[in-house]
Every structure is written in structure tokens, then in C-alpha cells.
Amino acid sequence: MSVPDKTYYQTDKTVNDSLRLARILRDHGNFDPGDDEHVPNAFIGTWRGGTYVACIVTGGMEGYGIRHHTYSIAGKSYTSDPKTGIGKQEKGVKLYNMEELAWYLKEHPYSTACVIDEVVDSGRTQHGIRHVLRNGLRKRDATHTDQRNGHSRCIFRMEANGHEYPLEVRMSNDEIPPLDSGVRVLMAAIHWKKSETITGEVPDFFVEEVSPTWKVYPWEAAADCREPGEFKDHYPEFHKILHE
């Protein structure tokens, strides 16, 4: 069965779109290929779908001879409906390991930091990540702070395109440093829900503009297909491996 508010993507489609994104980045991203002495590019996959896409994209970039380092970051802006598996946008965004990532990026003389996700919808996650990388964060600017297991849970009030949202970040130090002003911070995704973007955060590179329906990707199919027969109908091989 199909759920009207969902679009189902198969593995081939997702992998091919990820390779197309690598081609777009190679052709239009003006990436410095680097050399044996200098790695000029950082690619950051956003957990979890963005890391899947980033694995394929960075493999393609390596095949093109574009030297890079890879990192990951986790962002959470959805809660899943237990009956349908359709995600519901929360009011804010939570970013995990943002502080650690920023310090890693500061330690290397990168010219480009490219954040990769599978889909851009509201744009909050992308806006939050880009803001922190470009501007940093100071703990004293948080609207709320509390201690959690040796670090501070800090909430910042963000504004983008007339839209306000809370950004939650874990911090161990008094500040997260911004990247140097000469570092390009790019956002790339295979899919963009343009009609859902409320922050004005347009991906610098994307493969396809898509409808606002909930997207089911292969890595989350077993969790997102909740209706009777839905998982088996749309992902029969996955169902066979897991349940038959």
C-alpha cells in the first residue's frame, strides 16, 4: 500500500542522485583540487541521510582527484509519528558535535567547507549550521543554559528571513570559533523542498526540486513504513531480509 503524504525513493535513485550531486559540485563548485601537501576541502555529512549521500559524493570527488577530508554532524528537527512514520517539524533545531566539528575545521587551512544533506525543507538545520560556521557562538549570548554531564546545553534565538527559531547546541567552552573569513561555507543536497523553505536558506547546489510530501529513503524505510503492507510493497527485498 501507499500513503498519500509519502514519496518512496529506492536505492538506485538515491545513489544515482548522489553521484549527480558529485558531478554538479565538480562542474560548478570551483573546488581547489589540492595536492600532496595541501588538502583544501572539507565535506561534512549531516546525520543520518546526509552522511549516506556524503559517502557517495566524496567517493565521486575523490575519483575526480579533488582532495578532501570528511566529517559528520548530527542535526535533529523532526519527531516521527508512531502511526504513520511521517516526521513532524519541531519548533527548533538541535545540533550535536557542532563544537568539536568547528575546532577540527579551524585546525586545517581549508578553503571550502561543504555541508551535505539528503533534503532541504524548512532550511532551519542548514541555516543553523552555516551561521555557526561563519559566525561562531558565544555561551553568554544564549537565552538559556543548563549543565548536562560536564557540558552546557545552550539555546540561542535565531532569526532568518523574518522567521525565528531556537537553536540548541552543546558547548564545553565559552565559545565556538567561527571559520576564517576566507573559507567558503557551502550547502549541498540531492533534494530541495523549495515550497517548504521558510528561512530563505537556498542550497548552493542541489539535484532536484521535489514536492513537500514526506520522503522515505532506503536507510529509514524500515522505520518510516508503518502502515500494514507498506514496507513489503515498496521495499520487498528489504522486507524479505528483515522479516521473511
The structural domains of the chain, with segments of one domain joined by +, span 7-243
The fold for domain 7-243 equals: Rossmann fold (3.40.50)
| pLDDT tens track for 112-148 | 999 999 999 999 999 999 999 999 999 999 999 998 7
Say which range, 82-91, 115-124, 177-186, has the weakest mean pLDDT: 82-91
Q: 150 versus 11: which is more confidently predicted?
A: 11
* pTM summary value: 0.92
C-alpha of 81 from chain center: 21
Which residues are within 8 A (CB) of 191 and not within 5 positions of it... i.e. 6 or more apart?
17, 118, 119, 120, 206, 207, 208, 209, 210, 215
Q: Do residues 80 and 223 make contact, with C-beta atoms less than 8 angstroms apart?
A: yes
Q: For 58-65, what is the mean pLDDT?
A: 98
Please check the confidence at residue 78 and state whether its pLDDT lies above 60. no
Question: Measured between alpha carbons, how far is 88 from 218 in angstroms, rounded to an integer?
Answer: 19
Please check the confidence at residue 2 and state whether its pLDDT lies above 60. no
